Chains A and B, each alone.
Chain A
Amino acid sequence: MAFNHKHLIDITEYSDADIMTILETAKAFSQVNERAIKKVPTLKGKTIVNMFNEPSTRTRSSFELAEKRLSADTMNFGGSSTSTVKGESLIDTVMTLDAYKIDCIVVRDKHAGAPYMVSQASPAAVIDAGDGKHQHPTQALLDLYSIWERKGGFEGLRVGIVGDIGHSRVCGSLVPALKIMGAEVTLVGPGTLMPARPDVLGADHVSAHLDDVLPDLDVVYMLRVQMERLEGAPFPSIREYHDLYGLTRRREHLMRPDAIICHPGPINRGVEFDSYMADHPERSVILDQVYAGICVRMAALYLLLGGADNGLSA
């Protein structure tokens, strides 16, 4: 099936076939990442700007590495020194970048909708690397990749997402992506961490009780408790949160024998889970997700920038 997208901003614009194309392409790029020389000439001569308007370490480094392994010229732009601090509007910043004749802008912004604005102000391909509480499509794709590797497919797969759904851009992309792929999604958390309308994201079930749903889940996706985003204390204490929603050894007997554990990172040990579960050799795929991030981002960049020679046979 032809992959016909210019941007990766809204995962709901992607079909199941589009998503499978990305995952299969990522699988092919995975071979590159296993080689001694981890570089292909695929995007040689392409210029990619990583415009990170809010702090990010992992997503930015993952994109940077993916870009470098594809031989693109990359430039990091943003951080606390952004032009916005000097009073320049986002549109003016993008038009300035655009004057450098660039091919792709990877946008991280604390404001929902910023990547769309960037796409309107520039002819470059735009990848949303996380916007406000809205979406984070490459995160969802790497999650899907990790799940696909372990489970082989998505149809009827029961996925539970636990924690701070309401403040999560990961969920903004992951829940719709899972639904596109045919999975069944349960959101788990207290009312203070739920979005106004979980059904709008596509959730099949909502529960406040982890123990009730744990026995049914094939995938337990733990969300990071985002201390920096929590205002007005949505739960009384870390102790109580850990007690109600922490994935701990004492809960393992409730899990299916083949249930896996995902987390977008960075993890908070003692909050979302104990070390036994975070490091569980059979269940935890957390580090696989980090690796998948490189492969999936290489795939997305390759597909969006339409490299004629994918370099895989090089």
Chain B
Amino acid sequence: MAFLLKSAHIVDPALGLDGVADVLIEGDRIAEVGPDLAAEGAEIIDLTGKYLVPGLVDMHVHLRDPGQEYKEDIESGTRAAAKGGFTGVCAMPNTDPVTDTGAIVQYVKTRAAEVGHCRVYPSGAMTRGLKGEALSEMGDMVARGAVAFTDDGHGIQDAGMVRTCMDYGKMFGKVFMSHCQDNSLVGEGQVNEGVVSTRLGMLGWPAEGEEVQIARDIQIARLTGARLHIQHITTARGLALVRAAKDEGLDVTCEATPHHLFLTEDAIDDTYPTVMKVNPPLRTAEDARALALGVADGTVDAIVTDHAPHAAWEKAREFAFAPFGMTGLETSLALMITHLVKPGVIGYGRLVELMSIAPRRILGVEEVRIEAGATADLTVFDPELAWTVGADGYESKSDNCGFDGESLTGRATDVFVGGMRTLAGGSVC
């Protein structure tokens, strides 16, 4: 199968590309990039006015498979990813059973190969059962395709356990991704501690509960020499800790979510909207502004969604009973274009770094360049397409999207994964 993509605006900061050209895909590779290409027998797709970039990767996604397929499964989760413009996602290990052995990693890989609409890069638990008590079989998981280790959803409470994980696991060269949450400070916290926790009478989840573990894990990364990635960072001071670690030369990276960038605790009003219940919680407007600055200045390496689907009935409960998390795969790119690119905070080149180049580099998965010979993992989006979130439904099984009803500009129209079309004219295939 061959595709000739005509007249797309190509942006690939790794190659310094930022201009209109044609791309010829043959098989699973890019065969040629240049002006006025022609190819006999290739399907011609006119991409005039659209952007073509290296395939986007979301390195923080909950596919809920195995175990919670009523929320999402590998098929529906990767459909949502394709719809959102992604060619790959990193699946979190808080499945049931927990992805803490090679067998579960293998299941995820195999299932994704059978039914997936994008590549799935499984991550494995750092500790057995995500309990924070004993090493998981990291070697076995790496052998079956795990790309990273994380106890996402839980902060590892014992500093010595983090050290043991890093000291042991660093031989595999994979990144350790930290969900930072000190339970002695966070407890049963539901919302950011401060204005909203006071007004609504709910237990607070203080910024410091996140920051103390960010600080701790940076120290342990220095001690062990392991690669550290801070997940879903939310606070201005947390970001300052990462910035200082980078200045020091440590191999420390971090990610931020669109919901922490574009929503604040003020979204949690007297109606106790459980869709806004996420972990870490939505923070203050000052924190959100600091995150946006971090995105622009390079402190934030990657944009991730922490796509966390939940069934409607699970969210239609008392705030304290509702599970944490919102979906994000289908809105992430559009939110970034609407709220950061269009206002001029970042350019398309930086967008590609945040959503494709950095996630691939951190996970150690194949880096895609828009040049001949590269794997044809490509994302095409229309930067001017105006749409309303949720108006045409969701590909995800769940609809707990915190941006439902919002008017956005920019949307993925076509996606190629290894030369296979997974999104065509905005429809998943």
Contact = CB atoms under 8 A, between A and B. Distances in A.
A197 B319 contact: no
B316 A91 contact: yes
A196 B319 contact: no
Contacts of B202: 112-113, 132-134
A231 B203 CA distance: 12
A200 B195 contact: yes
Contacts of B320: 111-112, 132
B277 to A, nearest CB: 11
Given A132-B201, A196-B204, A197-B194, A89 B316 contact: yes
14 contacts: A90-B318, A91-B317, A111-B320, A113-B272, A113-B318, A113-B319, A132-B320, A169-B201, A196-B198, A197-B195, A197-B197, A198-B198, A200-B194, A231-B187
Given A134-B200, A197-B195, A111 B318 contact: yes
Contacts of A201: 198-199
A169 B198 CA distance: 10
B201 A133 contact: yes
B24 to A, nearest CB: 55
Given A90-B318, A91-B316, A111-B321, A10 B270 contact: yes
A163 interface: no
Contact of A117 (B187, B194, B272): B272
- Classify the secondary structure of B's interface with A: loop
Interface string A133-165: 111000000000000000000000000000000
Given A111-B321, A113-B319, 12 more contacts: A89-B317, A90-B318, A112-B272, A112-B319, A114-B318, A120-B271, A133-B203, A195-B197, A196-B193, A196-B194, A196-B195, A197-B198
Nearest to A169: B201
Nearest to B270: A10
Given A112-B319, A113-B319, A195 B198 contact: yes
Interface string A1-31: 0000000001000000000000000000000
Contacts of A231: 187
Interface in B159-201: 187, 193-195, 197-201
Given A113-B318, A117-B318, A196-B193, A172 B201 contact: yes
B198 A135 contact: no
Nearest to B197: A196
Nearest to A200: B198
A109 interface: yes
A134 B203 CA distance: 10
A112 B198 contact: no
Interface string B320-332: 1100000000000
Nearest to B320: A111
A77 interface: no
Interface in A191-207: 195-198, 200-201
B313 A112 contact: no
Nearest to A109: B318
Contacts of A241: none
A274 B381 CA distance: 73
A116 interface: yes
Contacts of B195: 196-197, 200
A131 interface: yes
B271 A116 contact: yes
Interface in B285-339: 313, 316-321
Interface in B197-242: 197-204, 206
B270 A116 contact: yes
A113 B276 CA distance: 14
B198 A116 contact: no
Contacts of A135: 201
Interface in A250-302: none
A222 to B, nearest CB: 20
Highest count of chain B CB atoms <10 Å: which of A91, A200, A231: A200
A133 to B, nearest CB: 4
A83 B365 CA distance: 50
Contacts of A120: 271
Contact of B317 (A10, A90, A134): A90
Nearest to A231: B187
A172 B200 CA distance: 8
Contacts of B198: 195-198, 200-201
Given A10-B270, A195-B198, A197-B195, A111 B316 contact: no
Contacts of B316: 89, 91
A229 to B, nearest CB: 11
Highest count of chain A CB atoms <10 Å: which of B206, B313, B318, B320: B318
Nearest to A114: B318
B201 A112 contact: yes
Nearest to B202: A112
Nearest to B314: A89
A90 B322 CA distance: 12
Contacts of A131: 201
B341 to A, nearest CB: 35
A171 to B, nearest CB: 9
Contacts of B194: 196-197, 200
B197 A113 contact: no
A201 B202 CA distance: 13
A8 B197 CA distance: 21
Contacts of B271: 116, 120
Contacts of B313: 89
Interface in A180-234: 195-198, 200-201, 231
Contact of A134 (B193, B201, B204, B206): B201
Contacts of A195: 197-198
Contacts of A117: 272, 318
A231 B321 CA distance: 20
Nearest to B188: A231
Contacts of A133: 201-203
A91 B404 CA distance: 22
A112 B318 CA distance: 8
Nearest to A111: B318
A204 to B, nearest CB: 15
A91 B315 CA distance: 11
Nearest to A168: B201
B329 to A, nearest CB: 27
Contacts of B318: 90, 109, 111, 113-114, 117
Give me the 10 closest cross-chain CB pairs, A-B, nearest first.
Answer: A134-B201, A113-B272, A133-B201, A111-B318, A112-B201, A200-B198, A197-B198, A195-B198, A196-B193, A111-B320
B272 A200 contact: no
A111 B277 CA distance: 15
A168 to B, nearest CB: 9
